[in-house]
């Protein structure tokens, strides 16, 4: 992949084509199997396979990418953890990635410029991806693959590669023509197809492919092909690139490109963004058809990750670089293919060279919530998540018994990320979520925030909620609304709820409302001082904020920028938070999590940039400054670190976050002592951020949404910073089911 500028343009070529994907012919029932040794599951498979799929007992992963190296740069280490887990792992690459057709190092790293040969270069990239996947699965880059042409749709063929030594690992190549430019307007591209600038996008046959000819795909046929793949893989986790790329301010658009939002330029490749749009449309169609297997979606930042603080530690970055060097054919191995055995544009410089920051970061577009496990009015716990694009709830059947019913559907429709839940005085819960509205004839492609208020409890003990209410977006223009951040909220002592989200300019917008739902208009928090003292300048907030109300009734908001941790606090109860000046805390590597302590204190947990080390900081009302209280033993990982103070009184600080193995690490410490707790390990591969809560006895309770689509929970035997934990349990996966929990680690 060539060196990108720090932006990507988008162009209004035509208004998006209408409605949902068109239905394909009835002949689709005769689709061929995928892979000679590991056919992907059919809806009409064996009773045993159907039972395993319905129970959620067998995780499966589908990765949707635009170019052959995208998952290696942006989705690792999660990709490798999936491949090595033994679960089914399928990656579909939408384009051939043929670029300029020259398989040569760039920027002076090569002396000879080879002739232009796009079919050969596309094959070389395929060979590089095969080798990297073989290393992840077997350790041998030359481990053989079986290759065949398969029909996902009648009349079309794609190339399927199956790793012979580990046949649950497969690669699917659709070979659509790529944009061949990071940001320049080009009708014959995924973006042009999505926007309706062209009726069909051709494929480019790579050298040596078993696919017999080229094809012309309409927008609907690309969507239906992905739906066909979803129906066969039945994934519990779908990973995509970033559908909500952030624009690069103060950058002129390319000549001749007006852009759909007045010439916005984006921190990503146009193929990346468009591939995520097609994945979203396919998921919407797949869920509408109902297949009974819960699906979690994770979307990964692309080029934007390279201009933000590094978010993974050096060992993780080096491993990403090693795999990219295999992809880049740095070892000069002989794979027996004249077209080439890897992508020399990447070569061996993946860690130390021009693409260094892409290997130094892994970031999710949805930063996760620090508030999705909440107590109900009667003391039972309820956990909220997004499965199949809808909000769901698990509820304890009795306070503290550890048995949950669920997941129960709460609606919402094509939600992204995680639910953020808050409690009103009196115990009623309010949920917040983010939703994408896909383009149709009657409405534009946009994002909006939603909320739903608890209005009672059903006979089965599950909290009941009213209809989801749209809060709109801080920026009403549809294209700008696509950059709206994910919500964080806090409820004041008077019952007023404040919801905060990043706006498209990089500031923080908020709306406030009473329990009755009488909401204010969107307004902006005052911008803090930028580094260097430039007062009033928007600091370029990065998504991943959090909010809370302290014991004195003051509302706190924290947010990471591309350089610093920023903090706002209200001067009096009932007032809107104001910036407090520089926190002086180390540069963050991602989302921030707040937790109130006693005496007006609040604590803050996050990862430090470059090291991924978890830090804990505290702010006291007097003198009103932040201080770093603990640096935890490095365990790697990325993403949000959940934080809460538990106990009666709340003197135990509990932290929980992902480690380098993709498992949960959690630690307890005494809030009165500046001593980091010892990490414990929960052997539950999971998606999104963890949750921390407490039961009626003040015992800490931790929850994650497993990669199997089930809720996994653990709680202390006894309250306190020294309290030991019981065993992890997995709650039932079938909707509405109540049953015994299973031990999971």
**φ, ψ for residue 266, nearest 5 deg:** -120, 150
Domains of the chain: 26-359 (3.40.50), 373-743 (2.120.10.70)
User: What's the pLDDT band for 106 if we cut at 50, 70, 90?
Assistant: low
Per-residue confidence (pLDDT) for residue 442, from 0 to 100: 86
Phi, psi of 435 (to 5 degrees): -130, 140
β pairing state of 664-670 and 652-658? antiparallel
pLDDT at 739: 42
With pLDDT > 90 as the criterion, what percentage of the chain qualifies? Answer: 79
Q: How many CB atoms lie within 10 A of CB 475?
A: 20
Mean pLDDT of 25-38: 28
Which one has a higher pLDDT value, 375 or 743? 375
Rounded to 10 degrees, the C-alpha dihedral 433/574/548/533 comes to 100
CA distance 96 to 119: 8
Helices 270-289 and 219-233: crossing angle in degrees, nearest 10, is 60
Please determine, for residue 43, whether its predicted confidence score (pLDDT) is greater than 60. Answer: no
pLDDT score for 435: 97
Query: Residue 541 and residue 564: Cα distance in Å, rounded?
Result: 9
Which helix (H) or strand (E) segment is 223 a member of?
helix 219-233
Q: pLDDT confidence of 204, banded at 50, 70, 90?
A: very high
Between 77-86, 260-269, 505-514, 705-714, the lowest mean confidence (pLDDT) is in: 260-269
Report how far residue 663's alpha carbon sits from residue 661's, in angstroms, rounded to the nearest whole number: 5
Report d(CA 452, CA 449) in Å as an integer: 11
In this predicted structure, what is the pLDDT of residue 515? Answer: 75
CB atoms within 10 A of CB 417: 24
pLDDT value at position 734?
Answer: 59
Residue 641 is predicted with a pLDDT of 98
Question: Per residue in 217-247, pLDDT tens?
Answer: 999 999 999 999 999 999 999 999 999 999 9
Residue 48 has pLDDT above 80, yes or no: no
Q: How far apart are CA 544 and CA 607, in angstroms?
A: 12
- Give residue 263's pLDDT band: very low, low, confident or very high (50, 70, 90): low
| Residue 742 confidence (pLDDT) | 58
At 535, the pLDDT band (50, 70, 90 cuts) reads: very low
pLDDT of residue 357: 80
For residue 370, pLDDT beyond 70: yes
User: Mean pLDDT across the chain, nearest whole number?
Assistant: 88
At 81, the pLDDT band (50, 70, 90 cuts) reads: very high
- Whether 35 shows a pLDDT value over 80: the answer reads no
DSSP for 383-412, written as a single string? EEEEETTEEEEEEESSTTS--EEEEEEEE-
pLDDT at 285 over 90: yes
Q: How confident is the model at residue 251 (pLDDT cuts 50, 70, 90)?
A: low
Q: Is the pLDDT reported for residue 22 higher than 80?
A: no
Q: Give the DSSP letter string of 664-710.
A: EEEEEEETTS--PPPPEEE---EEEEEEEEE-TTS-EEEEEEETTS-
Compute φ and ψ for 486, nearest 5 degrees: -90, 145
Measuring CA to CA, how many Å separate 257 from each of 175, 400, 420, 482, 702?
A: 26, 59, 38, 19, 49
Which tens digit of pLDDT belongs to each residue from 406-453?
Answer: 999 999 999 999 999 999 999 999 999 999 999 998 889 999 999 999
Taking only the tens place, the pLDDT of each residue in 52-64 is: 444 546 899 999 9
Average pLDDT rounded to a whole number, residues 473-500: 96
In this predicted structure, the answer to whether residue 162 has a pLDDT above a threshold of 70 is yes
DSSP conformation letters of 38-81: SPPPPTT--HHHHHHHHHT-S-EEEEEESSTTHIIIIITTHHHH
pLDDT value for 17: 31
**Mean pLDDT on 651-668:** 97
The full length of the chain comes to: 745
Please report which confidence band the pLDDT of residue 290 belongs to, taking 50, 70 and 90 as the band edges.
confident
């Amino acid at each position: 992949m060539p060196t990108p500028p720090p932006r990507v343009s988008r162009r209004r070529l035509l208004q998006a084509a209408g409605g949902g994907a068109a239905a394909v012919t009835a002949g689709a029932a005769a689709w061929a199997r995928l892979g000679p040794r590991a056919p992907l599951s059919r809806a009409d498979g064996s009773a045993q396979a159907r039972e395993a799929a319905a129970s959620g007992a067998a995780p499966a992963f589908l990765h949707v990418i635009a170019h052959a190296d995208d998952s290696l740069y942006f989705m690792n280490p999660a990709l490798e953890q999936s491949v090595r887990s033994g679960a089914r792992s399928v990656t579909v690459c939408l384009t051939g990635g043929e670029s300029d057709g020259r398989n040569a190092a760039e920027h002076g790293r090569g002396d000879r410029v080879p002739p232009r040969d796009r079919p050969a270069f596309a094959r070389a990239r395929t060979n590089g991806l095969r080798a990297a996947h073989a290393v992840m699965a077997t350790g041998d880059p030359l481990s053989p693959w079986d290759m065949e042409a398969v029909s996902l749709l009648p009349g079309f063929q794609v190339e399927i590669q199956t790793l012979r030594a580990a046949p649950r690992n497969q690669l699917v190549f659709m070979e659509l023509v790529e944009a061949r430019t990071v940001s320049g307007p080009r009708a014959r591209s995924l973006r042009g197809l999505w926007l309706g600038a062209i009726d069909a996008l051709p494929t480019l046959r790579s050298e040596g492919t078993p696919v017999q000819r080229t094809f012309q795909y309409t927008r609907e046929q690309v969507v239906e092909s992905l739906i066909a793949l979803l129906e066969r893989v039945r994934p519990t986790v779908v990973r995509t690139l970033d559908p909500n790329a952030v624009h690069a301010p103060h950058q002129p658009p390319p000549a001749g490109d007006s852009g759909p939002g007045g010439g916005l330029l984006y921190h990503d490749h146009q193929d990346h963004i468009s591939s995520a749009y097609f994945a979203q449309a396919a998921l919407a169609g797949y869920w509408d058809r109902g297949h009974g297997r819960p699906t979690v979606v994770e979307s990964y930042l692309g080029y934007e990750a390279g201009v933000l603080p590094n978010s993974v530690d050096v060992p993780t970055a080096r491993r990403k670089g090693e795999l990219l060097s295999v992809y880049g054919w740095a070892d000069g191995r002989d794979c027996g293919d004249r077209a080439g055995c890897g992508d020399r544009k990447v070569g061996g410089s993946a860690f130390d060279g021009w693409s260094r920051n892409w290997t130094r970061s892994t970031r999710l577009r949805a930063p996760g919530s620090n508030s999705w496990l909440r107590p109900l009015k009667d003391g039972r716990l309820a956990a909220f998540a997004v499965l199949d694009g809808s909000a769901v709830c698990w509820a304890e059947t009795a306070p503290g018994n550890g048995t949950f019913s669920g997941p129960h559907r709460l609606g919402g429709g094509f939600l992204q990320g995680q639910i953020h839940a808050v409690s009103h005085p009196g115990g009623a819960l309010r949920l917040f979520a983010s939703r994408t509205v896909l383009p149709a004839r009657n409405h534009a492609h946009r994002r909006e925030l939603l909320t739903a208020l608890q209005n009672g409890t059903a006979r089965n003990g599950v909290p009941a909620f009213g209809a989801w209410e749209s809060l709109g977006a801080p920026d009403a223009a549809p294209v700008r609304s696509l950059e709206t951040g994910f919500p964080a909220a806090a409820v004041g002592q008077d019952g007023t709820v404040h919801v905060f989200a990043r706006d498209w300019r990089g500031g923080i917008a908020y709306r406030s409302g009473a329990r009755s739902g009488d909401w204010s208009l969107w307004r902006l928090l005052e911008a803090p001082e930028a580094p260097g003292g430039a007062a009033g300048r928007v600091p370029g907030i990065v998504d991943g904020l959090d909010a809370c109300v302290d014991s004195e009734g003051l509302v706190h908001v924290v947010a990471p920028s591309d350089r610093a941790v920023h903090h706002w606090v209200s001067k009096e109860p009932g007032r809107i938070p104001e910036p407090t000046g520089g926190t002086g805390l180390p540069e963050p590597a991602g989302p921030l999590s707040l937790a109130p302590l006693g005496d007006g204190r609040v604590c803050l947990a996050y990862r430090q940039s470059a090291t991924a080390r978890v830090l804990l900081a505290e702010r006291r009302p007097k003198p009103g400054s932040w201080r770093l209280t603990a640096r935890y033993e490095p365990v790697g990982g990325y993403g949000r670190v959940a934080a809460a103070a538990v106990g009666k009184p709340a003197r135990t600080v509990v932290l929980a976050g992902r480690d380098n193995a993709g498992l949960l690490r959690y630690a307890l410490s005494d809030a009165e002592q500046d001593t980091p707790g010892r990490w414990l390990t929960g052997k539950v591969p999971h998606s999104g951020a963890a949750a921390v809560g407490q039961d009626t006895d003040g015992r800490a309770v931790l929850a994650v949404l497993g990669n199997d689509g089930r809720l996994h929970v653990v709680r202390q035997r006894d309250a306190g910073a020294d309290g030991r934990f019981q065993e992890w349990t997995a709650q039932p996966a079938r909707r509405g089911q109540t049953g015994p929990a299973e031990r999971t680690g």
